[in-house]
Chains A and B, each alone.
Chain A
Amino acid sequence: MPPPPTPANVRVVTLTIDGQDLSARADETIIEVCRENQIPIPSLCYLDGLSIWGACRLCLVEIAGQGRLFAACATQVAEGMQVLTNTERLRRYRRTIVELLFAERSHICSVCVSNGHCELQHLAQTCGVDHVRVPYRQARYQMDSSHELFRLDHNRCILCTRCVRVCDEIEGAHTWDLMGRGSDCLVITDLAQPWGDSETCTGCGKCVQVCPTGALVKQGTSAGEMVKDQHFLPILARRRQAR
């Protein structure tokens, strides 16, 4: 699909990312420009086609002249902006964040249906996480297998809310939401009813496809079998915009 034409009132700016001179539309975010130009930047909550959540903090970048860090997914580019995406400090922070995620719930890759196809696992590899220095939290959450097609395992959820957003913004069902706070946050269906009893779920499976981990999977898959396809999302999202 061709890119949407630049609206007349949007300017084009130039900026540098990791020393590379680039041009971008003023309404683009740093992560979009990075993706266009094959500059790798880790992300978990961001997904092309969904609204911005800005919560995993993996895409943080340094901007010259600014004391604090900025989430590349939530920050628009500006003329003359100088962005650094891969400093030693950023790499250290990213490793720690991934470690924190692993320790928060029980991510044991070898027995997971998503083994080999999991974005968290992949990130751990690209960020260079070879061990987890903080203790595992050892909390145990219920599984929800009540849906005839899909299964939810909170123990593998990283609370990225991709499922919540795709269901609300693309499918229009708003079956998913969040409950609780802190580390005890849970994704829920309807008013925390079993997924199988949900009156709003259309069974479309978009949430399963966008879920980065093995938290949402198809029934009947076993270790390493759950391969996901998110290709539909940018296409659907742009069709919706065009209307």
Chain B
Amino acid sequence: MNLDDLADKAEEYRNQDPDITHEARVCMAASCQSSGAPEVMAALHRALTAIPPPAPGERQGDVEGDAERDGDSEGDGTMAGAGLAGPADRVTRGHRCKVKGVGCMGLCSAGPLVAVAEKGAELMASTLYREVRPEDAPAILASVAGPPVARLHCPTDQPFFARQQRIVLENAGVIDPDSFKGYVAVGGYAPLVQALTEMTPAEVLREITLSGLRGRGGGGYPTGLKWSTVAKMPGERKFVICNADEGDPGAFMDRAVLESDPHRVLEGMAIAAYAIGAAKGYVYVRAEYPLAVERLTTAIRKAKRAGFLGGKIAETPFSFEVEIRLGAGAFVCGEETALMASIEGNRGQPRPRPPYPAESGLWGCPTLINNVETFANIAPIVRHGGAWFAGIGTEKSKGTKVFALAGTIENTGLIEVPMGTRLRDIITAIGGGIPGGRAFKAVQTGGPSGGCIPAEHLDIPVDYDGLKTLGTIMGSGGMIVMDETADMVDVARYFMEFCMSESCGKCVPCRAGTQQLHALLDKIAKGEARHQDLALLEELCEVVQATSLCGLGQTAPNPVLSTLRFFRDEYEAKLCAP
């Protein structure tokens, strides 16, 4: 198969139901599902069938629905809802509509979200509805041909949507994550075929290096450098691992990507495998993400059947198998050496580095390990070129970053913005500010490994280096917003409790140190501490940071140091005697 063949296929899939002009897209990602999206989806199906039967000779409206997704012999999405659906054009005056389950549209706090759009149109060009109830289904379907339902309408020209730039999330909320054809129809797998048939591995490496992409899992290590290192390592057997263990409290970027566009991650992994010379990959997903696991499993099965995974991909000599490994919910298993120990069937505990995984990883073989979002950036880079990607973002942080907005903020959900976007824009414009008229106090980035940023630094451009100057980190993309009522000692205690209970127990400073730090923070919070306790707290922070074996312990003191830096008065106000 070459690029032209694939383009023909994409064209064919796009024109598969020529009568369908519109789609009612229901977000079926985990968050909207929990606020009632499946019921809304069912109601939309019922509303389609409730439409009076067609006049003789008229064509039946098509329904593509959740339940039917795996029904056809090709194992792909479409199934005509014969007898189920009435003629959509009766209500919609010349338009035919189908109901489609899609991934995350971002504004999770307003779920369930339903978008009515012309077939294949992007999210911005759709009519979006918020907090949809099942009884709203007929009105929404009626709006396909008429004016929007005003009371549900959620304009997509508001800053939450307009200020974003979607690269990683370009298909999220648009395509059906379970549909292989849907992914191909929007140009999916063309970058893989392009890499395999028109580029050498060295050329792929060059584009990734040129793009300036840095790892999205927290460390920000240059992806091109990591790939070239593994590519240069001697050895017949090499592995690719996708780290989908996402364990930071308040972070759900990787989950959303996997639930919304799983093929994109597989495609990124396959391109990586080609570039470094691997034939086997693992996706390490936490078992608490059952929907992501289910969609990934479906995606692997369908990609394999279509010849984009497995042996001789696109009729080239390149073969690549992907397997899923489930993590049992230990935060430390996101650390790369612990993750590999876990895949090997051992206790998930980190080991000293070097040797780094690039040299000695899974079963001692050179191994490339990248985050979900890192892999999700690969296909666009190959498609548009490294230089295109390097044109987005700041000097040392290229491209976009997905953030999960959580905490006391108007719009909680998932956003993607160019690197270098000012924090104020993210919190105020995109996030919609603090609810209830309260004042902003701080935002925690980088989860338990990061720190807080107070109001006076809101104008910082968000990129790897900018955040570091404030003593925090980009991390994987969690942003927890706190208003004036937040107690910063309590915040520090919360994150320390998390680190203490997630410490694997291998090394002494982290195992015993986090436990002592937590006890000290507890003592301060309860107003029982003195000045010497504060001094001991700072000293222990230094020791745990400098001497712990892995990143968990090394970064566990960060929330304490950061709150001490910006809110020391809150600590001091709680001390009982001088």
Which chain A residues have a beta carbon within 8 Å of chain B's beta carbons? 52-57, 60, 68-69, 71, 74-75, 92-93, 96-97, 100-101, 103-104, 133-135, 137, 158-159, 177-178, 180-185
Partner of B536, one of A69, A133, A177: A133
**Is the beta-carbon distance between A159 and B352 smaller than 8 angstroms?**
no
**Is the beta-carbon distance between B547 and A182 smaller than 8 angstroms?**
no
Partner of A178, one of B347, B352, B515, B547: B347
Partner of B505, one of A74, A134, A184: A184
The 9 A-B residue pairs with the shortest CB-CB distance in the complex, in nearest-first order: A185-B505, A74-B352, A100-B512, A54-B352, A104-B512, A182-B503, A55-B507, A96-B543, A57-B547
- Determine the distance from Cα of A60 to Cα of B507 in the docked complex, in whole angstroms: 12
**Closest partner residue, chain B, to A89 (CB atom):** B546
- Determine the distance from Cα of A75 to Cα of B354 in the docked complex, in whole angstroms: 8
**Is the beta-carbon distance between A55 and B549 smaller than 8 angstroms?**
yes
For the complex with contacts A92-B543, A96-B509, A97-B509, 19 further pairs of A-B residues with Cβ separation under 8 Å are A54-B549, A60-B547, A69-B546, A71-B549, A75-B352, A93-B547, A97-B547, A104-B515, A134-B516, A158-B508, A178-B505, A181-B332, A181-B504, A182-B502, A182-B504, A182-B515, A183-B503, A183-B505, A185-B505
CB distance from A24 to the nearest CB of B (A): 17
- Determine the distance from Cα of A54 to Cα of B332 in the docked complex, in whole angstroms: 17
Contact of B22 with A by CB under 8 A: no
Q: What's the tally of chain B residues with a CB closer than 8 Å to chain A?
A: 31
CB distance from B3 to the nearest CB of A (A): 46
**Closest partner residue, chain A, to B548 (CB atom):** A57
Contacts of A71 in B (CB 8 A): 352, 549
**Is the beta-carbon distance between B506 and A55 smaller than 8 angstroms?**
yes
- Determine the distance from Cα of A39 to Cα of B469 in the docked complex, in whole angstroms: 39
Contacts of B332 in A (CB 8 A): 181
**Is the beta-carbon distance between A185 and B547 smaller than 8 angstroms?**
no
CB distance from B513 to the nearest CB of A (A): 6
- Determine the distance from Cα of A121 to Cα of B303 in the docked complex, in whole angstroms: 60
A-B contact pairs, 14 of them (CB 8 A): A53-B506, A54-B351, A57-B548, A57-B549, A92-B543, A93-B547, A97-B509, A100-B516, A159-B511, A180-B505, A181-B502, A182-B511, A184-B505, A185-B505
Contact of B519 with A by CB under 8 A: yes
Contact of B291 with A by CB under 8 A: no
Q: Which of B490-517 contact A (CB under 8 A)?
A: 500-509, 511-516
- Determine the distance from Cα of A71 to Cα of B507 in the docked complex, in whole angstroms: 12
**Is the beta-carbon distance between A101 and B508 smaller than 8 angstroms?**
yes
Q: Which of B508-563 contact A (CB under 8 A)?
A: 508-509, 511-516, 519, 536, 539-540, 543, 546-549
Contacts of B351 in A (CB 8 A): 54
Question: Given contacts A57-B548, A103-B516, are A97 and B508 in contact (CB under 8 A)?
Answer: yes
Contacts of A100 in B (CB 8 A): 508-509, 512-513, 516
Interface string of B457-491 (1 = CB under 8 A from A): 00000000000000000000000000000000000
Contacts of A177 in B (CB 8 A): 347
**Closest partner residue, chain B, to A58 (CB atom):** B508
**Closest partner residue, chain B, to A185 (CB atom):** B505
- Determine the distance from Cα of A60 to Cα of B539 in the docked complex, in whole angstroms: 17
Contacts of B142 in A (CB 8 A): none
Contacts of A75 in B (CB 8 A): 352, 354
**Per DSSP, are chain B's interface residues mostly helix, strand or loop, or mixed?**
helix
Contacts of B505 in A (CB 8 A): 159, 178, 180-185
Contact of B330 with A by CB under 8 A: yes
CB distance from A10 to the nearest CB of B (A): 16
Interface centre among B330, B501, B503, B547 (most CB of A within 10 A): B547
Partner of B539, one of A53, A96, A182, A184: A96
- Determine the distance from Cα of A56 to Cα of B547 in the docked complex, in whole angstroms: 9
**Is the beta-carbon distance between B511 and A183 smaller than 8 angstroms?**
yes
Partner of A181, one of B503, B509, B513, B549: B503
**Closest partner residue, chain B, to A178 (CB atom):** B347
**Closest partner residue, chain B, to A135 (CB atom):** B519
- Determine the distance from Cα of A158 to Cα of B511 in the docked complex, in whole angstroms: 11
- Determine the distance from Cα of A240 to Cα of B30 in the docked complex, in whole angstroms: 54
CB distance from B489 to the nearest CB of A (A): 19
**Closest partner residue, chain B, to A186 (CB atom):** B505
Contacts of B547 in A (CB 8 A): 57, 60, 69, 93, 97
- Determine the distance from Cα of A156 to Cα of B341 in the docked complex, in whole angstroms: 28
- Determine the distance from Cα of A10 to Cα of B519 in the docked complex, in whole angstroms: 49
**Is the beta-carbon distance between B352 and A52 smaller than 8 angstroms?**
yes
Contacts of A97 in B (CB 8 A): 508-509, 543, 547
**Closest partner residue, chain B, to A94 (CB atom):** B547
**Is the beta-carbon distance between A93 and B330 smaller than 8 angstroms?**
no
CB distance from B234 to the nearest CB of A (A): 14
CB distance from A41 to the nearest CB of B (A): 15
**Is the beta-carbon distance between B507 and A56 smaller than 8 angstroms?**
yes
CB distance from B502 to the nearest CB of A (A): 8
- Determine the distance from Cα of A71 to Cα of B547 in the docked complex, in whole angstroms: 9
Interface string of B344-373 (1 = CB under 8 A from A): 000100011010000000000000000000
**Is the beta-carbon distance between B501 and A182 smaller than 8 angstroms?**
yes
**Closest partner residue, chain B, to A137 (CB atom):** B515
**Closest partner residue, chain B, to A57 (CB atom):** B547
Contacts of A133 in B (CB 8 A): 536
**Closest partner residue, chain A, to B536 (CB atom):** A133
CB distance from A122 to the nearest CB of B (A): 16
**Is the beta-carbon distance between A183 and B512 smaller than 8 angstroms?**
yes
Contacts of B508 in A (CB 8 A): 55-57, 97, 100-101, 104, 158
- Determine the distance from Cα of A103 to Cα of B517 in the docked complex, in whole angstroms: 13
Contacts of A57 in B (CB 8 A): 507-509, 547-549
- Determine the distance from Cα of A189 to Cα of B403 in the docked complex, in whole angstroms: 45
Contacts of B500 in A (CB 8 A): 182-183
Contacts of A53 in B (CB 8 A): 506
- Determine the distance from Cα of A68 to Cα of B332 in the docked complex, in whole angstroms: 21
CB distance from A51 to the nearest CB of B (A): 10
- Determine the distance from Cα of A200 to Cα of B425 in the docked complex, in whole angstroms: 63
- Determine the distance from Cα of A53 to Cα of B512 in the docked complex, in whole angstroms: 17
**Closest partner residue, chain A, to B520 (CB atom):** A134
- Determine the distance from Cα of A183 to Cα of B519 in the docked complex, in whole angstroms: 13
- Determine the distance from Cα of A177 to Cα of B505 in the docked complex, in whole angstroms: 13
**Is the beta-carbon distance between B352 and A181 smaller than 8 angstroms?**
no
Interface string of B317-345 (1 = CB under 8 A from A): 00000000000001010000000000000
**Closest partner residue, chain A, to B353 (CB atom):** A74
- Determine the distance from Cα of A71 to Cα of B549 in the docked complex, in whole angstroms: 9
Contacts of B347 in A (CB 8 A): 177-178
Contacts of B501 in A (CB 8 A): 181-182
- Determine the distance from Cα of A55 to Cα of B507 in the docked complex, in whole angstroms: 4
Question: Given contacts A69-B546, A182-B501, are A101 and B506 in contact (CB under 8 A)?
Answer: no
Contacts of A93 in B (CB 8 A): 543, 546-547
- Determine the distance from Cα of A92 to Cα of B501 in the docked complex, in whole angstroms: 26
